Amino acid sequence: MPEICRFLGIIIYFAYNDHNPPHFHARYGEFDITVEIESGIVGGRFPRRALTMVLEWYQQHKAELQANWDLARRGELLNKIEPLE
């Protein structure tokens, strides 16, 4: 699963040939979530502070996340996205 960003111990990645709706994955220690790109709906469990950071980062990079989803669906290399500052 290609990693597109890493910040504060959080790893953001996509899976090639993943199911719809468009989403990305985030891992923090033993916790994993998915976040739908269009709606921001979160599936899974994450510590509150880490979830807040992922959602803040997501709001800043929605267009880039959608572009990476499209690349992943075509099996192409993904673009790195800047981490949360």
Average pLDDT over residues 5-20: 94
Residue listed under structure tokens 């199911």: 19
The verdict on pTM exceeding 0.85 is yes
Q: What is the three-class DSSP state of 46?
A: coil
Cα–Cα distance measured from residue 50 to residue 53, given in angstroms and rounded to the nearest whole number: 5
pLDDT bucket at 1, cuts 50 / 70 / 90? confident
| Residue 41 in tokens | 């709906």
pLDDT of residue 31: 98
pLDDT bucket at 17, cuts 50 / 70 / 90? confident
